[in-house]
Amino acid sequence: MNAVKVLIVLLATLGVTETYAFCGFYVAKTDANLFNNKSEVIYVRDGKKSTITMSNDFDGNAKDFAMVVPVPVVLQENDIKVVDRGIFEKLHDYSAPRIVEYYDQNPCQPVYEDVMVEESMSRVSTQSITMMDNVAMNKDYKVTIEAEYEVGEYDILILSAQESDGLKRWLLDNGYKIPSQAEEVLQPYIRSKMKFFVVKVNLEKYNQSGSEYLSPIQISFEDNRFMLPLRLGMANSKGSQDMLMYFFTKNGRVESTNYRTVEVPSNRNIPLFVEPKFQGFYRDLFKNAYHEENENSVFVEYAWDVSPTAGVKCDPCVSPPPVFAEFQKAGVNWVSGMNQSSKVFFTRLHVRYTRDDFPQDLFFQETPNTERFQGRYVITHPASGDFSCDAGQNYLRDLEKRRKKEMNELTALTGWDNKYGDNYVKEFSNQIKEESTPFVSPSNDGGSGGGGLGFKPMYLFALLTLLGVAWMLQLNWNKQGV
């Protein structure tokens, strides 16, 4: 079989300059407009245990950063840590939708085989919370400070509250500017008796670290609920938000239980000129799919067994698969070596949500479905050289048909205007020769020789047939003495 060169192009799914956030809302001590338009979350689920890592690629002054996330229990000091932010880049790049490029062979030319073949642990200290607790209770906020920690460059509080108005007033009175809709979205979590994980930056420690970025925060807890609190993320959102979720489980895919889970359109052949526009192509493809699914579905972008003992983990791969150290950073603590107990299934889900279209938090389940999937888009480079042989001419005609289908696919996937499609389809048409016609007599020119019919085998056959019939009739008449 002829070898085919394959080039993989990595997709940056959305603009890299957007402010990232978690599904909780951000609050600030200034009037800064903080909109969490894109979030990334790593979610490891093992039985009832959840380990959630939140990306904090906050774009702004560190003193303005704060985060509120609902949690089901009071987290202990060893349940919280900061991790290397590189784990998000690794998982994003590895699971991102991708282009695969193929190269046609020229059928008129000889064929030659072308073979191508350290985590930062948290420093936690428990401080006296008596004075702050007294301040909270003196104003009748009905807010209790359950715990207070220092983790990495963060100061962390675990709060409980009896009413949303009290929690809102507590945050405001302690210098936090929170979204006006906060009270509305806080109330359901308070009714569910959830706690609140409140984070802000310790500027002294952050400046000492010399880092340009804030570290991702990882929390672990046990709870029957397998969910993410989307509603808080809507409190200060302007328009829709995108969330990328990287799930690790032992048995199979993760799917939403309260919203439809669908695969993003994949394995489609698209025009060659899409390659330098792939980021915009996928952005519009996702937008189109989002609208077609009535704006309330969760999309699978990658699903694969990435266990150390598994063989191929992608087709094609855009980067090396996760290794032991990266599993550990993500919180996959059951991976211990090349054995069957180290089974890991990786699901990448992408959701776009608004206050109107996603009124509920996202709830999930681990399924036994181990079917492989990835967002994958194929472009094929045409052959070059001389196409004068018969096979070359057939190739050019097939190329026209193929490119027409590619343009139709592009329009269906993205809604892009097809105004340049004809030039793309007909790029090689000038090399197609006129098809030869069967031999005909010179009288076929429509002149005096036969009224333009020409002398063709079909006419000879008809003439012979008529002569045969006449001969048989003549014999019959002779017998009758006519």
Q: Which residue has the higher pLDDT, 119 or 402?
A: 402
Q: Please state the rounded mean pLDDT for residues 67-81.
A: 93
DSSP string, 407-472: HHHHHHHH----TTHHHHHTTTGGGPPPPP-----GGGGSSSSTTTT---HHHHHHHHHHHHHHHH
Instruction: Average the pLDDT over each of 81-85, 111-115, 116-120 and give the range with the smallest value.
Output: 116-120
Residue 181, pLDDT above cutoff 80: no
Write down the pTM of the prediction: 0.79
Residue 338, pLDDT above cutoff 50: yes
pLDDT tens-digit readout, 443-481: 444 444 444 444 455 555 666 666 665 666 565 656 555
Q: Are 73 and 196 in contact (CB under 8 A)?
A: no
pLDDT at 133: 47
Q: Give 55's contacts (C-beta < 8 A, 6+ positions apart).
A: 20, 22, 39, 40, 41, 85, 88, 216
Q: Please state the rounded mean pLDDT for residues 208-213.
A: 84
Which run of H or E residues covers position 99?
A: strand 98-103
Q: Please state the rounded mean pLDDT for residues 98-114.
A: 82
pLDDT at 156: 94
Q: Are 384 and 103 in contact (CB under 8 A)?
A: no
Q: Angle 390-414/278-292 helices, nearest 10 degrees?
A: 60
Q: Please state the rounded mean pLDDT for residues 403-413.
A: 96
Q: Please state the rounded mean pLDDT for residues 80-97.
A: 93
Tell me phi and psi for residue 42, to 5 degrees. -100, 125
Q: Exposed (0-12), middle (13-18) or buried (19+): which is 314, by Cβ within 10 Å?
A: buried
Instruction: Report which listed range, 61-70, 193-202, 266-275, is most confident.
Output: 266-275
Query: pLDDT grade, residue 25 (50/70/90)?
Result: low
* CB half-sphere exposure, 305, CA atoms < 13 A: 16
pLDDT at 431: 92
Tell me phi and psi for residue 241, to 5 degrees. -130, 150
pLDDT at 472: 64
Gap between the Cα atoms of 261 and 301, Å rounded = 11
Q: Are 313 and 321 in contact (CB under 8 A)?
A: yes
Residue 247, pLDDT above cutoff 60: yes
pLDDT at 408: 94
Residue 395, pLDDT above cutoff 80: yes
Mean pLDDT value across the chain = 79
Number of H-type helices and E-type strands within the chain: 10, 22
Q: Please state the rounded mean pLDDT for residues 250-272.
A: 96
Query: pLDDT grade, residue 66 (50/70/90)?
Result: confident
Q: Which residue has the higher pLDDT, 60 or 272?
A: 272
- High-pLDDT (> 70) share of the chain, %: 73
Residue 89 Cα distances to 167, 322, 326, 371, angstroms = 35, 11, 11, 25
pLDDT at 459: 57
pLDDT at 116: 39
pLDDT at 30: 42
DSSP string, 237-298: --S-EEEEEEEEESSS-EEESSSEEEEPP-SEE--GGGGGGHHHHHHHHHHHHHHHTTT-EE
pLDDT tens-digit readout, 303-332: 999 998 887 788 888 788 888 889 999 999
Q: In this structure, what token pair is assigned to residue 181?
A: 């809709």
